[in-house]
Structure 1
């Protein structure tokens, strides 16, 4: 049996390393693998698709949809290794694996300040980047017909070409636990997730902030509701928007959003009924409201001194998004406020939910502080004297993650292995009733010619 010669992943791969490793696989196994360019990013970076096998049933695995979640790049390399080593996963399953190496390579490049390690919360948040909501390529706020981002258009075209029976979108959780979001139920997946998580020491998130109002299909597995219209705040906090997750629904595609944590927190797996729910909610909401005020005042001091230009705009967009949603979330979580304007009543909460809300509030503040830190650093001067205060806040809030929440780093290899195992489980379960579809990258099947990577 062929064994892959890829070196072990001790850290996250960069954009360039992803392309180079995929090209090395194709050079070793040209009959079974194909590498083609399926689009180009806004900055001109190729979007590479690595296809393995020649089966009629298509699986599409999308890495790097969020710029600050690099685990998916490692996972697609791990999956390529596993699939090539086991013919049952392609020949035996009549399947072709289509691995999109990175959907947002421009954003991933902007995270390279922390990507290579050493992995510490302070370093991560000081170098964190994720574009504003409207520039994230999985979202379709105005519908598929109005898409302007080339990365989004490339993914939509690929979905319509392949008509996959399964799409997996590979996401990461900076602090928390692992969970899965599905557009259709896959009975048995929750048990597979539990087994893989236990074997690898990955906490399962039993009450994620992302899925607070979504139906639970099993422990740490949730059903994504059909998209609906909402304002920008609802779109950001509730995914109340069309997305590339649902776009291939008409082809019978099951989409699985697979979340793997970077820093794990044991409390997110505690499904017990809390004994002090109101006290915790009051603390979380008041803390978020206070931190938001501090950050808004810092932004008011910083903004007049920022240079005009695309770099400033790129960093300000997510800052404005976070500061837009924080007050409403604080009001929604506050037990002392009756029927906050535009808020949903909270569902019954477990200890895991409360831990997730605490983590989410702290995450929003830390991301905002990190982006403000970059705005001042990139400007090259600090006339407002904001950097010392931002450094103090980032250090203090990271300490709270470590000491208050018990956040502990999970080695990259374990993050990747966990996510790969969940994808393989979803592949098996979704494939039991999958129809035959198009063949990726083969003549006569609406696929463009492969572009040698060295020409890009």
Structure 2
């Protein structure tokens, strides 16, 4: 079966751009119209701005699978993956029968946020263009991180409508398998799973290798990630983050977000997969060559750089706060994220003091520090520029807003020059990213459940 999956991976077509909301919905609607014998479109909810949320059901067997994209709206690879998966399953009755699943495929669970990113979906994809047209909602407004949570003094029940829609699908289907589609910025391919087997780990590693993509072997996205096999990690949830912060003496009670989709479906014994694929490749991301500085020194430098970015961005935002008139999602995101820069710096400083921090740092860790800094400056600098653009667009060009806009434009362009010089990268063909996620889904569901 796996050899057949690799052949299907090779058949994934080329894509010249990421698809916006309208194109995704038109594509999934066309699948339902063309394959009415096995596929049906149904509305599962409503976005915060009033847009219908749609799921395509493809009948194929007694087991239930839920696959969804755009839980983070700045991660559009999954929309293409969901659409390709829907087209493949609807057109191949033998494959559906062999897999034995009925599929519930949601190509865009956050259309409001996705529309705010569409400015960078057309090629070429550069960090400058990405940052200047970037949007990511505050944690409590992210679909992936707004599931209910009650743990060690942290309580969250402000579940957003898009998450309610997913919860409803989970509760109705009690899925045997769930896949949340994500993508990163730099590095290699990696996955989160509830558990793994030697064969599943082999398949998940073999798919990117087949496509010429590396597994992620550099510094982890989060310091508490548990590696189950190379590139395969135990699924993240809020409890892990809270426990880690507690272990290094950093306050966790200010968390203003909920839990993950993977945590929610634990109640159903669901097998789940989160696939992370990067936009850009850089050899340093997986280079374990030792450096002449210690890891602790690298972490303290990271903390210093993050605090400096916070000083610039928070200072500019503070200079215009009293003049702002628009109720902007960019502004809500900035008010949530900018205080988090100091928190990230605190975490890095605390981690530097953990025993063993005096070991030599490696190239991939230095790359991760540079990538984190450039990503923060491009993302938050871009969202602050979009905030100020909005004020100017409605005629609110006060002296403070015009001055901050001019100053930040200058700073952003300088930061973009640095990002593209210090973190050079090769853009990975979209087809390979889609094929990796598509293959990982089929490679996972075609294996029997453990035990």
Counterpart contact for 1:205–1:352, Cα < 8 Å: no
- Residue deviations 1:411-444 (CA, integer Å, cap 9, x gap): 2222212221222222223xx0289xxxxxxxxx
When the two structures are aligned, how many residues end up with a matched partner? 423
Q: Is the aligned partner of 1:433 residue 2:426?
A: no
Q: Is the aligned partner of 1:255 residue 2:266?
A: no
Structure-1 separation of matches of 2:148 and 2:59: 36
In 2 relative to 1, CA 217–351 (structure 1 residues): closer, same or farther, beyond 3 Å?
Answer: farther
Structure-2 separation of matches of 1:218 and 1:68: 28
Structure-1 separation of matches of 2:252 and 2:372: 16
Structure 1 unaligned spans of 5+? 436-456
Counterpart contact for 1:54–1:95, Cα < 8 Å: yes
Structure-1 residue corresponding to 2:145: 139
Q: Which structure is higher in RCO with an 8 Å CA cutoff and minimum separation 6?
A: 1
Equivalent residue runs for 1:145-184 within 5 Å: 146-184=157-195
- Give 3-state SS (helix, strand or coil) of 2:99's partner: coil
- Give 3-state SS (helix, strand or coil) of 2:32's partner: helix
Structure-2 residue corresponding to 1:410: 428
Structure-1 residue corresponding to 2:3: none
Structure-1 residue corresponding to 2:406: 388
Partner residue of 1:361 out of 373, 379, 383: 373
In 2 relative to 1, CA 54–324 (structure 1 residues): closer, same or farther, beyond 3 Å?
Answer: same
CA RMSD of aligned residues (A): 3.3
Partner residue of 2:35 out of 29, 54, 66: 29
In 2 relative to 1, CA 159–186 (structure 1 residues): closer, same or farther, beyond 3 Å?
Answer: farther
In 2 relative to 1, CA 346–398 (structure 1 residues): closer, same or farther, beyond 3 Å?
Answer: farther
Q: Is the aligned partner of 1:372 residue 2:378?
A: no
Q: Is the aligned partner of 1:214 residue 2:230?
A: no
Residue 382 of structure 1 and its aligned partner are, at CA, apart by 6.1
Structure-2 separation of matches of 1:238 and 1:174: 24
Structure-2 separation of matches of 1:23 and 1:383: 48
Higher mean alpha-carbon deviation, 326-335 vs 115-124, is at: 326-335
Partner residue of 2:98 out of 82, 92, 112: 92
Higher mean alpha-carbon deviation, 61-70 vs 410-419, is at: 410-419
Counterpart contact for 2:146–2:158, Cα < 8 Å: yes
Structure-2 residue corresponding to 1:443: none
Counterpart contact for 1:227–1:239, Cα < 8 Å: no
Residue 263 of structure 1 and its aligned partner are, at CA, apart by 1.9
* TM-score with structure 1 setting the length: 0.83
In 2 relative to 1, CA 240–201 (structure 1 residues): closer, same or farther, beyond 3 Å?
Answer: farther
Structure-2 separation of matches of 1:83 and 1:184: 25
Structure-1 separation of matches of 2:253 and 2:76: 21
Counterpart contact for 2:16–2:123, Cα < 8 Å: no
In 2 relative to 1, CA 239–42 (structure 1 residues): closer, same or farther, beyond 3 Å?
Answer: closer
In 2 relative to 1, CA 16–389 (structure 1 residues): closer, same or farther, beyond 3 Å?
Answer: same
Counterpart contact for 1:61–1:76, Cα < 8 Å: yes
Structure-2 residue corresponding to 1:453: none
Partner residue of 1:61 out of 63, 67, 75: 67
Structure-1 separation of matches of 2:90 and 2:256: 35
- Give 3-state SS (helix, strand or coil) of 1:386's partner: helix
Residue 154 of structure 1 and its aligned partner are, at CA, apart by 0.8
Structure 2 unaligned spans of 5+? 1-7, 151-155
Residue 68 of structure 1 and its aligned partner are, at CA, apart by 0.8
Q: Give the number of the structure whose residues are more often helix, by fraction.
A: 2
In 2 relative to 1, CA 226–291 (structure 1 residues): closer, same or farther, beyond 3 Å?
Answer: closer
In 2 relative to 1, CA 79–201 (structure 1 residues): closer, same or farther, beyond 3 Å?
Answer: same
- Give 3-state SS (helix, strand or coil) of 2:15's partner: coil
Structure-2 separation of matches of 1:209 and 1:382: 43
Structure-1 separation of matches of 2:330 and 2:356: 33
Counterpart contact for 2:12–2:431, Cα < 8 Å: no
Structure-1 separation of matches of 2:138 and 2:237: 23
Residue 201 of structure 1 and its aligned partner are, at CA, apart by 3.6
Structure-1 separation of matches of 2:171 and 2:356: 38
